[in-house]
Amino acid sequence: MGACPHDCPDTCAFRTRVENGRAVALEARADHPITAGFLCGKVSDYVERVYAPDRLLHPLVRTGPKGSGSFREASWDEALGIAAAGIAGAIDRHGPEAVLPYSYLGTMGVLQGGAMADRVMDAIGASRLVRTICASAGATGVGLATGPSPEVDPEEWPHARLVVCWGWNPMSTAPHLWRLILQARRNGARLVVIDPFRSRTARVADLHLRPLPGTDGALAAGILRTLLDEGLADEVWCREHTVGFEALPAQLADHDLERCSAECDVPAAAIRDLARDIALMQPSLVRLGVGAQRHAGAPIAYRTIACIPALAGSWRHRGGGLSYIPRATTNALDTSLLARPGLLRGSPRSLNMSRLGEALTDPDLDPPVAALVVWNANPAAIAPDQTAVLRGLRREDLHTVVLEHFLTDTARYADVVLPATMQLEHLDVHWSWGHHYVTLNEPAIEPVADCLPNSEIFRRLAARLGHEDPALRDSDEVMLDELLAGQPSSIDVETLRRVGFAKVDLGQGARPHADGSFGTPSGKFELRPDLPFYDPPAEVADVALGQRLPLTLITPKTHLFLNSTFANGRRQSAAQPTPRAFLHPDDAATRGVTDGDRVRIANDRGSFVCRITVSDDARPGVVVAPGGWWNAAYEDGASPQALTSQLLTELGEAPTFNDCRVEVRLESASSE
């Protein structure tokens, strides 16, 4: 029984076919209601990844300059000795907060994620990492309105008659959730996509609205205003189940449709028509993606968008309402049971993962970061302001330990690289950030070569650092037993063990908020008269900066990579061999750029070079550079990430990758 470990909302279930101790194929489970018998184009040949020729099979110790990729093989004993000595040295010189853990959801497994690693970092007294790089701005915004309460279960989506994918490209980024939207369409639903870029999903939509990046709050406010002005708001539901409804007209007084339209550059008539459809084509569903939150005003934008289904009365209807990250069901798996707060030494500082560049290079940071331990993440590729990140990783006085499957951009800068097991080789349990199932992952094969689970690497590292607490020796089996034994009745552990997956049941039913009961303090939907409905982006709204850097850069996901994972996959990289950026024909013409030309895309933080595709898939004013290729795929090793900023949103402390002004210039004409 297996679970796909990747940072994807679909969390698929599979079985591994094994012959003579060797995995030969992954078989998607047909009995899992979301997986529905297929895996995506990224993971379908996962077995090839397990036995890939470039997989890390043995510990490595650096022999050349940082970043050069020169290493020699070492035994576990030697490599762990060097790793531990480097960490201990950093602690001796600067105290335990000089150690920084850096991890994200390379695997979403509880055991290979933080279960043991966090215990070890707490025992050390290391700095804490604020892990808000993905969806926190949006979660904070939606949470202001709904609290942590169930959203529309994806299995109810086929009942919807109108589906709005807002900043979401599920055809690429959530193919199994996309299947449920297709089911709604087969039942007659209309599909609307709100995205500056013509993504794969937008290409097949009935309607595609293309706001300027970071202006979704204005578009959403225009919809709210129309619902009120045209008498389309569900007053009965709102009076009963919201707080702040009376104040709404005054609050929206400034947001007349023309003004909203001008802010987001979507025609007023299109905003008005969409508002009417959302109110009248019930059940209507708004499904938020992660993509619309990469700018300074995003938390407010997400809360304004969350208000739309409430005002439209969509929650009354089966399949209607709002879906984003199903936080209530996600949180049902209580992983805090595995924490050991008693191990914590002192109250260490917190550093935000999206300001890693600053954390590694700020001369005033006291204590400095002197040891960095990275697992389940590739910050040299995915963290903003890459120039600063790489400058930090190059520091000779920084001791870097990386647990990895491959010699990634980050691993190349390590002093010690430790080879980690893959999903077919270790035990784990998974929550999902897209659906309501918890899924078990049992090892199907022995670890390849010297590879060890992250959890075991951390157990050994703790021992080498002299930490003796028995909690630092708990096996994966013991931790899993403890986790599952402590689960509330909302998770049927017997089914999970027997079948491999179990649905979280919080008693939400098919219409979770038809009668209110939101997870807010008031138990009602909070319209929050104290908050604005539109909070503009930073760089995108900066008119003065716009004189010099007239374009906005956005960096959406690619179809066959998962962030930077799979970019080294044989089939995946052959299908997406080189990075390209998309530019609208008008913007190309004013710059003398034609299709296929080599261009340099630059701002004050850095620049990168790539080929341009001239296409109205990009909207005017916006350059689209999908990310995920490793840095070596770019000339000079600088990717679009060299341009993104370390600015965080105020609420949610989240990154602002797409709040990024740039200019494009021709480097050389096409010779393709």
Ligand X SMILES: Nc1nc2c(c(=O)[nH]1)N[C@H]1C(S)=C(S)[C@@H](COP(=O)(O)OP(=O)(O)OC[C@H]3O[C@@H](n4cnc5c(=O)[nH]c(N)nc54)[C@H](O)[C@@H]3O)O[C@H]1N2
Q: Which residues bind ligand X (CB under 6 A)?
A: 5, 7-8, 42, 104-107, 112, 133-135, 166-169, 172-173, 194-197, 199, 211, 213-214, 216, 289-292, 294-295, 375-378, 381-382, 403-406, 408, 420, 454, 554-559, 561-565, 627-628, 641, 644, 657-658
CB closer to ligand X, 90 vs 164: 164
Identify any residues that bridge with 526 across adjacent strands, giving them in sequence order: 243
Q: Which of residues 478-517 bind Mo ion (CB under 5 A)?
A: none
Query: Could you give the CA distance from residue 213 to residue 659 in angstroms, rounded to a whole number?
Result: 7
* Amino acid found at 261: S
CB closer to Mo ion, 134 vs 438: 134
DSSP state of 509: -
CB of 217 to Mo ion, least distance (A): 21
The DSSP H or E segment spanning 609 is strand 607-614
CB of 448 to ligand X, least distance (A): 13
> Does residue 4 interact with ligand SF4 by CB under 6 A?
yes
**Which of 1, 10, 285, 457 touches ligand SF4 (CB under 6 A)?**
10
Q: Where does this chain touch ligand SF4 (CB under 6 A) — which range of 37-45, 289-297, 470-478, 625-633?
A: 37-45
Give the list of residues 6+ apart from residue 449 with CB closer than 8 angstroms, or none: 57, 58, 419
Q: Could you tell me which of 284, 315, 288 has the C-alpha nearest to residue 161?
A: 284
> Does residue 430 interact with ligand SF4 by CB under 6 A?
no
> Does residue 26 interact with Mo ion by CB under 5 A?
no
Confirm if 448 and 50 have CB atoms less than 8 A apart: yes
> Does residue 383 interact with Mo ion by CB under 5 A?
no
Partner interacting with residue 622 (select from Mo ion, ligand X, ligand SF4, none; CB below 5-8 Å by kind) = none
Quote the Cα angle for 657-662-666, to 5°.
130
CB closer to ligand X, 104 vs 431: 104
Partner interacting with residue 630 (select from ligand X, ligand SF4, Mo ion, none; CB below 5-8 Å by kind) = none
**Which of 29, 42, 208, 524 touches ligand SF4 (CB under 6 A)?**
42
Asked if omega into 367 is within 30° of 0 (cis), the reply is: yes
CB of 420 to ligand X, least distance (A): 3
Which tokens in the block code for residue 189? 């639903």
Partner interacting with residue 43 (select from ligand X, ligand SF4, Mo ion, none; CB below 5-8 Å by kind) = ligand SF4
> Does residue 134 interact with Mo ion by CB under 5 A?
yes
Q: Which of residues 549-578 bind ligand SF4 (CB under 6 A)?
A: 562
Q: Where does this chain touch ligand SF4 (CB under 6 A) — which range of 8-16, 56-64, 79-87, 567-575?
A: 8-16
Confirm if 225 and 260 have CB atoms less than 8 A apart: yes
Helix (H, G, I), strand (E, B) or coil at 295: coil
Query: Could you give the CA distance from residue 331 to residue 329 in angstroms, rounded to a whole number?
Result: 5
> Does residue 524 interact with ligand SF4 by CB under 6 A?
no
CB closer to ligand SF4, 79 vs 560: 560
CB closer to ligand SF4, 39 vs 374: 39
Quote the Cα angle for 626-658-291, to 5°.
70
> Does residue 290 interact with ligand SF4 by CB under 6 A?
no
Partner interacting with residue 627 (select from ligand SF4, Mo ion, ligand X, none; CB below 5-8 Å by kind) = ligand X
Q: Is the dihedral of CA 179, 183, 186, 192 positive or negative?
A: negative
CB closer to Mo ion, 173 vs 568: 173
> Does residue 12 interact with ligand SF4 by CB under 6 A?
yes
CB closer to ligand SF4, 434 vs 536: 434
CB of 592 to ligand X, least distance (A): 26
Partner interacting with residue 400 (select from ligand X, Mo ion, ligand SF4, none; CB below 5-8 Å by kind) = none
CB closer to ligand X, 382 vs 414: 382
CB closer to Mo ion, 174 vs 465: 174
Centroid of chain to Cα 91? 32
DSSP state of 623: E
> Does residue 587 interact with ligand SF4 by CB under 6 A?
no
CB of 173 to ligand X, least distance (A): 3
Q: Where does this chain touch ligand SF4 (CB under 6 A) — which range of 10-18, 217-225, 518-526, 584-592?
A: 10-18
Partner interacting with residue 12 (select from ligand SF4, Mo ion, ligand X, none; CB below 5-8 Å by kind) = ligand SF4
Q: Which of residues 49-68 bind Mo ion (CB under 5 A)?
A: none
CB of 563 to Mo ion, least distance (A): 7
Confirm if 648 and 654 have CB atoms less than 8 A apart: yes
> Does residue 325 interact with Mo ion by CB under 5 A?
no
**Which of 16, 23, 32, 40 touches ligand SF4 (CB under 6 A)?**
40
CB closer to ligand SF4, 42 vs 580: 42
Extended beta strands in 467-606, E state? 501-503, 525-526, 551-554, 580-583, 598-602
Output the CA torsion 478→56→387→196 (10° steps): -80
Give the list of residues 6+ apart from residue 642 with CB closer than 8 angstroms, or none: 385, 386, 387, 605, 606, 607, 608
CB of 3 to ligand SF4, least distance (A): 8
Partner interacting with residue 286 (select from Mo ion, ligand SF4, ligand X, none; CB below 5-8 Å by kind) = none
Report DSSP letters for 28-86, one per residue. Answer: E-SSSTTTTT---TTTTTHHHHHT-TTS--S-EEE-SSTTS--EEE--HHHHHHHHHHH
> Does residue 662 interact with Mo ion by CB under 5 A?
no
CB of 602 to ligand X, least distance (A): 16
Query: Could you give the CA distance from residue 76 to residue 89 in angstroms, rounded to a whole number?
Result: 19
CB closer to ligand X, 156 vs 195: 195
Q: Which of residues 176-235 bind ligand SF4 (CB under 6 A)?
A: 176
| HEC-encoded secondary structure of 102-163 | EECCCCCCCHHHHHHHHHHHHHHCCCEEECCCCCHHHHHHHHHHHCCCCCCCHHHHHHCCEE
**Which of 175, 348, 453, 500 touches ligand SF4 (CB under 6 A)?**
175
Cα–Cα distances in Å, from 643 out to 389, 555, 567? 12, 10, 20
Cα within 13 Å of Cα(198), Cβ side:
15
Determine phi and psi for 9, rounding to 5 degrees.
Answer: -65, -15
CB closer to ligand SF4, 302 vs 437: 437
Query: Could you give the CA distance from residue 128 to residue 208 in angstroms, rounded to a whole number?
Result: 41
Partner interacting with residue 159 (select from Mo ion, ligand SF4, ligand X, none; CB below 5-8 Å by kind) = none
Q: Could you tell me which of 60, 70, 63, 97 has the C-alpha nearest to residue 371?
A: 97
> Does residue 105 interact with ligand SF4 by CB under 6 A?
no
Q: Buried b / exposed e across 163-174, counting CB within 10 Å, b at 16+?
A: bbbbbbbbbbbb
The DSSP H or E segment spanning 356 is helix 356-361
> Does residue 298 interact with Mo ion by CB under 5 A?
no
Q: Which of residues 325-384 bind ligand SF4 (CB under 6 A)?
A: none
**Which of 16, 23, 32, 39 touches ligand SF4 (CB under 6 A)?**
39
Give the list of residues 6+ apart from residue 433 with CB closer than 8 angstroms, or none: 9, 11, 108, 135, 325, 326, 330
The length of the chain in residues reads: 672
Binding site for ligand SF4 (CB under 6 A): 4, 6, 8, 10-12, 39-40, 42-43, 175-176, 562
Which residues contact Mo ion by CB under 5 A? 134
